């Protein structure tokens, strides 16, 4: 990894430490949580205005994208590529956003399903990219994996 990148990470950490010292972690958490709640409410209002068919479509696409992501993780794993961590993280976040499978038929917060859709599509794209690169080269070290 590049020294400049590592240096920037440390500078960012120091700026965050100063910010947390000045503002306080409690205030920062409250501010972020409030902004997140307002964002969820705004997205939910927009989805509510667009109607139930769009919310149902988003929910269906989110579940389908999750299944695609898991299948791609299994394929990557069979090829010896790292995928378990991504599968665990995306699954936990998906369940946090969408709830347990027996709750999927109930109407949940519309923005949660939209976030779940974005999460699973992002994960599926990550696994697709990993599978398409096919191990031709190891980007992190510049060495060939063959």
pTM check: above 0.75: no
pLDDT digits (tens, 9 = 90+) for 120-142: 999 999 999 988 887 544 444 44
Domain ranges of the chain: 3-25+43-133
Please tell me the distance from the alpha carbon of residue 117 to that of residue 59, in angstroms, as a whole number. 8
pLDDT digits (tens, 9 = 90+) for 46-102: 767 767 777 778 888 988 999 999 999 999 999 999 999 999 999 999 988 887 666
- Any long-range contacts for 47-53 (C-beta under 8 Å, 24+ apart)? 47/110, 47/111, 47/114, 48/110
Out of 8-12, 24-28, 108-112, the most confident range is: 8-12
């Amino acid at each position: 990894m590049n020294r400049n990148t590592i240096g920037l990470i440390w500078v960012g950490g120091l700026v965050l430490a100063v910010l947390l010292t000045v503002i306080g972690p409690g205030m920062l958490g409250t501010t972020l949580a409030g902004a997140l709640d307002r964002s969820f409410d705004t997205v939910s209002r927009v989805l509510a205005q667009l109607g139930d068919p769009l919310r149902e479509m988003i929910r269906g696409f989110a579940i389908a994208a999750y299944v695609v992501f898991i299948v791609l993780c299994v394929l990557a794993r069979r090829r010896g590529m790292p995928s378990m961590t991504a599968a665990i993280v995306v699954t936990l976040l998906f369940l946090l956003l969408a709830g347990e499978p027996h709750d999927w038929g109930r109407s949940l917060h519309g923005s949660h399903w939209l976030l779940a859709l974005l999460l699973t599509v992002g994960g599926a794209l990550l696994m697709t990219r990993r599978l398409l690169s096919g191990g031709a080269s190891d980007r992190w070290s510049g060495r060939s994996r063959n």
